[in-house]
Structure 1
Amino acid sequence: MPPTTAVVTGGESGIGRATALALAAAGMDVGLTWFTDESAAQAVAVEIVRLGRRAAVARMDATRLSEIATAVDGLAVDLGGLDVYVHNAGGGPGGRLVDLDLQTWRHTLTLNLDAAFVGVQRAAQRMIEAGRGGRILAVTSVHADLPGMGAAAYSAAKHGITGLIRTAALELAVHGITANTVAPGEIATPMTGLDGVDPYTVDRPGIPAGRPGDPREIAAVVAFLASPAAAYVTGASWTVDGGMGLMGAQAAPLLTSDAWRR
């Protein structure tokens, strides 16, 4: 049975916005959470309605863990069910390992890993109660597999989400629920400072594709994994990075200074 309802966290911009619209275009009513920009979230809701689907909006601060289950429950009630849950909210400040204070470390893990646990757990509970199966997806990062300078806390959190989702895949399969992650590379979003920029106009010699990604290219993969066509895909991590992760051996000989260390 095709999914008809979806919740996307962090849905007011970037990958979350593109995902909400892709799921609506695929025939789902969509609930989305926002944190800083309610008007942007309401604008996404208007676009969902224009696609002929119902929309619901809720504020959620992913560092206030009690708000997450409340938001998931509220949106699911508004939509009349929950077939697809996309945990996309995340981010956080960087900092080199030796300089990183414990408060920043804990904040980043709460915002990313703890929030994912709470959201995924509540979505799974609702799906099991409904008995219709479902799809659970988490947007991670290439840093879930590849280290990055100044990304100790962020990378650790994204590694953790991958482990969480793979365990969910093992435990939830008996209920007809799949669980997968999508790991973007550099994407034209507010987080990368490229919001609203046409990625085809940005030169990235270090990426085989030669450019950053478009949020809609991430959303397309999420929409596939949320579809009946992906019923046999679970516990997988889908890297969508234009080939960035392949560049280690190719890029290293071309570095001409130690600037990357700083």
Structure 2
Amino acid sequence: MPLRNKVAIVTGGNSGIGQAIVLALAGQGAKIVIDYIVDEQAVEGLEAEIAKLGGQAIGVDADVSKPAEIQKLVDAAVQAFGRLDIMVNNAGVETRSSILDTTEAQYDRVMDVNLKSAFFGTQIAAKQMIGQGGGGRIINITSVHEDWPMPGNTPYCLSKGGMRMLNRTAGVELGPHGVSVVGVGPGAVATPINASTMNNPGLLAKLDAAIPLGRMARPEEIATLVAFLAGDGASYLTATTIFADGGLMQSSVGL
């Protein structure tokens, strides 16, 4: 198993892409800390599923919009498993609101959960990795919308654009310490965050038609990429984003 003896944290790890990432990393031998703020039963189910596979995982209730709660996640990883090798900043929300109708509260929530958590998740994880020695991998789940406009979802695009420069700048700063920082930019993925599209046959057909591969991604397809980036095969990647969008960015204006 390529990630045997590695320890990973996955924020927002009990649903959607995060859940798939947890299972992919555990399937390759990593010990996992699953961050969540709701649905503890889902976390318990994941822990049980991983245990049946011979792996180890613990759930930690932490609000990653607060740096102290991110520190709690890192401390839990070190206490339970002795170190931290892989940090996946995956937690994210959106408001589907435009520049004209976004409230301050909506703006703050999206920026705190998406960008602030990734910034301090990167910082706090990197400090742990540097202190313990041996380097590490930080993987930030961004979006095609770090580079590709989505009218009517402005705060989300702004947060993901910020993550683009976080990956680039932190990757340069942390490279000399042996810590790589890479973004994964999914396109449309069949997860609860896209429920409004998936539940509307007309919108779904329009979206599928705009994707050269003809369909939304499965969460497992994004998770497989994250697992690759956590392993030795991605040892020379940093300060960049890998897009997994089925070709969407090259074929259509924002939907």
Normalising by structure 2, report the TM-score: 0.91
Distance across 2 between alignment mates of 1:194 and 1:217 = 21
Paired residues, number:
247
Q: Equivalents in 1 of 2:26, 2:223: separation in Å? A: 11
SS of aligned partner of 1:98: coil
Distance 1:64 1:176, change over 3 A: closer
CA contact (8 A) 1:144 1:156 kept: yes
Compute the displacement of 1:191 (Å): 0.8
Question: What's the % identity of the aligned pairs?
Answer: 38
Contact 1:14/1:195 (<8 A) preserved: no
CA distance in 1, matches of 2:221, 2:57: 22
- SS, match of residue 60 in structure 2: strand
CA contact (8 A) 2:88 2:139 kept: yes
Which position in structure 2 is the counterpart of 1:63?
Answer: 65
Q: Aligned-pair distance for 1:71?
A: 1.9
- Structure 1: distance between partners of 2:29 and 2:76: 21
* Structure 2 residue aligned with 1:112: 114
CA distance in structure 1 between the aligned counterparts of 2:64 and 2:156, rounded to whole angstroms: 15
Q: CA deviation at 1:194?
A: 8.1
Amino acid at match of 1:225: L
Runs of 4+ displaced beyond 3 Å: 194-197
Distance 1:24 1:194 in 2: 30
Distance 2:104 2:57 in 1: 39
CA contact (8 A) 2:7 2:77 kept: no
2:249 to 215, 225, 245: 245
Q: What's 2:157 paired with?
A: 155
What corresponds to 1:30 in structure 2?
32
**Residue 194 to residue 16, structure 1, CA distance change in 2 (3 Å):** farther
- 1:128–1:175: 8 Å Cα contact kept in structure 2? yes
- The answer as to whether partners of 1:97 and 1:150 remain within 8 angstroms in 2 is yes
The answer as to 2:230 corresponding to 1:226 is yes
Aligned counterpart, 2:11 = 9
Q: Which amino acid aligns with 1:159?
A: G
**1:86 counterpart SS class:** strand
> RMSD of the TM alignment (CA)?
2.1
Match of 1:165 in 2: 167
Cα deviation, residue 94, structure 1: 2.1
1:136 lines up with 2:148 in the alignment: no
